[in-house]
Amino acid sequence: MSNVLRLAIVDPDDAKRESVKNMLLGMDMIWLEAECSRYEFFADVVAQTSPDIGLVALDKNPDRALELVSQLSESLPNCAVLVTSSSNDGNLILRAMRAGAKEFITQPVKIDDLLAALGRISDRRGGNSDGRPRGSQVVAVAGSLGGVGNTSLAVNLACAIAQNPKNSVALVDLDLSLGDADVFLDAIPDYTLVDVAQNVTRLDFSLLKRSLTKHSSGVYLLPRPVQLEDCALITPDDLRRVIGLLKATFTHLVFDLSKGYSPIDMVALEMATHILMVTQLDLPCLRNVVRLMTSFNEMEGIGEKIRIIINRAGLDSGHITSKKAEETIGKEIFWQLPNEYRTMIEARNNGVPLIEQAPKAAITQSIQGLADALFSNPKAAATDEADAAEKKPARRSLLRFLSKKK
């Protein structure tokens, strides 16, 4: 399991509890394990769910709440207690710390204060050296055009990542209408994304894994809905909660996006660690990359996460060169996958990933290399981005640039 912090909260004030809960649900590195409205029941809730953090609101009955803090600290020392109150009284803060609270946050809770407190707790528990909780690596695989190979890459990248026994990988098909990740893995799932989305509040880690289909490669698949009418049952908020639970369960998530860049796709882009933009070296694909990058660069936190992936490199001599593509896009190409169309088609038609069908093929090795570049050396991507920013290639009109003949 990844280092996502699991949290339980108690606050008899329904409005305040709902406000904090909504804030927690939007945080990548937190999974809301349980909520409670009565102090007298919370110790049992914590004992049953074993969260990393217990958040106790003091305002309704400070004396009773502090007794609870002391009880939790003594009987359940593995649960770090975080308290909140609208009071800044020094005596109350001192009493809370003496009772065993690890952090004190003033109400109304501000997200920066909460993140800082959670980071300190994570650090004390042996988390990152920078004091922030570590979470899953989330890869969103997007295409610049239909048929460029983003599903092929998503499926085979997930299988490549899963070859490391330290990794646990979930593959989620977000092409709700026409997704076919299950075909690539020859899987007939019992449950789909709509089943998990509609029951996410009742799922725990073990139930979640049983709701996914495990492939022989080690990848857990969550496919698109079976019925077209079920697509409308999945909302962006549902997906955020599903991703939160998946991140608390798996070390790596791979999302295969649709070509429509729907609100569902945008949630995945927003929550992704890396966005792989799959394209080919031809005019329609590069035109769409320029268009998409123009929009994504205007969205906070999206543009800088995008990595340009060239598929079917070296397909024909008539294709645009990678150098021209970089100058046109205004961004360096992160990775190029060789053209082994027949190998890929055979693997897809057999329902077998490349790592099993053709482990020594150049395309298989290239996808494994991409996985290593993304995760084995976390500084590499940052260095590539810094170099690209330093060079700042001029952005040109795609049609005008390509119309020039050499």
Copy the structure tokens of residue 312: 């079917």
- One of 3.40.50.300, 3.90.1640.30, 3.40.1350.10, 3.40.50.2300 is the CATH number of 137-403, namely 3.40.50.300
CA 176 to chain centroid: 18
Distances (CA, A) of 406 to 284, 313, 315: 21, 21, 21
Average pLDDT over all residues of the chain: 86
pTM of the model: 0.69
- Residue 143 reports pLDDT greater than 80: yes
pLDDT digit string, tens, across residues 90-131:
999 999 999 999 999 999 888 768 877 887 887 776 544 443
CATH assignment of 5-124?
A: 3.40.50.2300
Q: How far apart are CA 401 and CA 328, in angstroms?
A: 7
- Greater pLDDT, 7 or 406: 7
**Domain boundary assignment for the chain:** 5-124, 137-403
Same fold for the domain at 5-124 and the one at 137-403? yes
- The residues, any chain, with a CB within 8 Å of residue 94's CB and separated by 6 or more, are none
pLDDT digit string, tens, across residues 244-286:
888 877 889 999 999 999 999 999 999 999 999 999 999 999 9
Contact 92, 103 (CB under 8 A): no
Contact 15, 231 (CB under 8 A): no
Least confident range from 83-97, 133-147, 161-175, 336-350: namely: 133-147
Cα angle for residues 364, 256, 218 (degrees, 5° grid): 55
Q: Are strands 252-256 and 137-143 parallel, antiparallel or unpaired?
A: parallel
Copy the structure tokens of residue 396: 């040109």
CA 284 to chain centroid: 29
